[in-house]
Structure 1
Amino acid sequence: MPLSEQEQRLLDEMERHLMQNDADVVSAQRDGRSLSYRNIVYGTILVLVGIGGLLGGVVTQLVIVGVVGFVAMLAGVILAVTPIRAEAPEAKKKKEPTPKGSSSGSFMDRMNDRWDRRQGDH
């Protein structure tokens, strides 16, 4: 079904705004958190050991070995994907306090507020 002229204009405008703000999204900081390559490697090794334990438990029909293998796999995945807090310079540590009402509300309400603030800047 083809779009009407108004819908097409709105879609084009949204695409332009997305392209303008795309650099903001890519360069946005993640609260000083990043993945540790060491944790990814250790987590991967733990997952592989857990798979071995799970398969060993299935082959030997020992339930406890399979459960321990599964828990090791789960711990490995959690270890691999958990970000670590990087030390930030002093300038970055001094952040403006956020208003108390900003954390309340639904996700969509916060996104709509952010969109309205961005549109007010242009």
Structure 2
Amino acid sequence: MPLSEEELRLLEQMERALSEEDPKFANTLRGTALRRAQRRQAIAAGAVLAGGIAILMSGVVTEVWLLGVLGFLVMLASASTGLSALRGHPPVVPSSRATRLGRVSLLERAEHRWRRRRGQGW
């Protein structure tokens, strides 16, 4: 059911009043601060990725394989961080915190399903 013109006008007035009263809270509700933080994180990950490429190439040129492996690991970590920031996924949280927040890992879900099936007589 769409809002009437009167309701839309009242909603816009409430949004303006909220923005004037507490702009930080209004930005949080809009999600602009979160998107800005994710964009900064993706840009930083891109810079670290470029550094990882430089380390990798230095290892190849100087024939120090340990330096090449280190560069590859830096590239892998920064690419993972950058992609998760671009996709908008939250960073990985520890298992105990994840269960409190309602997030369950794939292994924990599989274990829960297995126990449920065993209890049902499968």
Shorter-chain TM range is 0.3 to 0.5
- Please report the TM-score for the alignment, with normalisation by the length of structure 2: 0.40
**Higher helix proportion, which one?**
2
- Please report the TM-score for the alignment, with normalisation by the length of structure 1: 0.40
Higher RCO, Cα 8 Å, sep 6+: 1
